[in-house]
Amino acid sequence: MTHEVEERPNPPRRGLRKGLYLIPSAFTAGNIGMGFLSVMESLRGFQLLGSVNPDIARATAHFDQAAVAIGFALLFDMLDGRIARLTKTTTEIGIQLDSIADVVTFGLAPAVLAYVWGYGAALTEGTDAHRLAWFLSFMYLICGAFRLARFNVQASRPRVLSEGTVKVDKKSFVGLPIPVAGGLIAALVHFSPVPIIYFGPERAQIYAVLMMLLVGFLSLMMVSTWRFSSFKTVGTRRGSMRTIMLVLCVGVLIFLYSRYVLLAIVVSYILYGLLSRMIGIVWRRSDAAEAKIEPVSRSSGS
């Protein structure tokens, strides 16, 4: 008596599904690698400036490469989260790994770059101004780390937070995102990679003070409660061909005029967030004033 074996459909290819989880992690690893490369390039440029015969040309090339590495890290950071959401491969370990990568790439690397390219080499070592510059770089790093920690807590359990915490909105970030803050420092260095010390003692000190003010401003904005658009919903809907074409056009412009376009994009994003906040404050005050006047006019009319 023969027994016929019933053919069953092949089970789903779990190996392929598991492989999808490695794609976002690969981009996150690239993010960390670019951050490490940026730190090493910054240190190499600072070493050339501190030699007996400073090599400004080679130091400039190293600082530019450090800034470009942060730019590529920003691209990897945008892709890993978007790919994880599109492929539905978001994991808790991936979220935590992404935050650690951001601390290295957009926290440590820009802080080191701003110091060695800008105020660290322009100010006399041992002075109060030099100590303040060192502290500002550290403050930038610690504020960026706090910004990421707060984002992770709000994203994981927004309703359990203590009273007074701003409600999480997927369409916006609370505080300036650390990739944008690091991207502004990188874009500024990429726009003018020549170290500040090259412009002479007097102008170098002025530029150093301005750079210190910028780093302090970015640090405060990261830990603020001001909202900045996340653009997470852009390109995720069907029929987003216009968005794809716009991204391609911007990519071509970056390839051709990276020094100008990157700086313009980052500055425009920050100004958009600041102006939106200021307009919202003025708008709410005007509405509150109208609300107070309206009951008074009704009572006088009666």
- Structural domain of 28: 17-234
Residue 262 falls inside a structural domain: no
Q: Which amino acid is at 191?
A: F
* 300 in a structural domain: no
Q: What is the pLDDT of residues 68-81, one digit of tens each?
A: 999 999 988 888 77
Q: Does 254 reside within a domain?
A: no
In a domain, residue 299? The reply is no
DSSP for 47-95, written as a single string: HHHTSSS--HHHHHHHHHHHHHHHHHHHHHHHHHHHHHHHTT---HHHH
For residues 139 and 128, give the distance between their C-alpha atoms in angstroms, rounded to a whole number.
16
Tell me the CA distances in angstroms from 126 to 113, 121, 123, 133, 139, one per residue in order: 20, 12, 9, 11, 19
Other residues' Cβ atoms within 10 Å of the Cβ of residue 24: 25
| Location of structure tokens 């008596």 | 1
Look at residue 36 and tell me whether its pLDDT is greater than 80: yes
- Distance (Å, whole) CA 31 – CA 34: 5
Model pLDDT for residues 98-128, shown as the tens digit of each residue:
888 999 999 999 999 999 999 988 888 888 8
As beta bridge partners, residue 228 has 173
Q: Which residue has the higher pLDDT, 256 or 230?
A: 256
Higher-confidence residue: 98 or 176?
A: 176
Is 271 inside any structural domain? no
DSSP state of 258: H
Q: Classify residue 8: in a domain, yes or no.
A: no
Confidence (pTM): 0.81
- Whether 298 is in a domain gets the answer no
Backbone φ and ψ for 229, nearest 5 degrees, come out as -60, 140
Residue 71 placed within a domain: yes
Say whether 173 sits in a helix, a strand or coil: strand
For the chain, what is the domain count? 1
Q: Measured on CA atoms in the order 195, 202, 125, 215, is the torsion positive or negative?
A: negative
- At 131, the amino acid letter reads R
Domain containing 121 — which CATH number?
A: 1.20.120
pLDDT at 217: 95
pLDDT of residue 232: 61
- The better pLDDT of the pair 31, 298 is held by 31
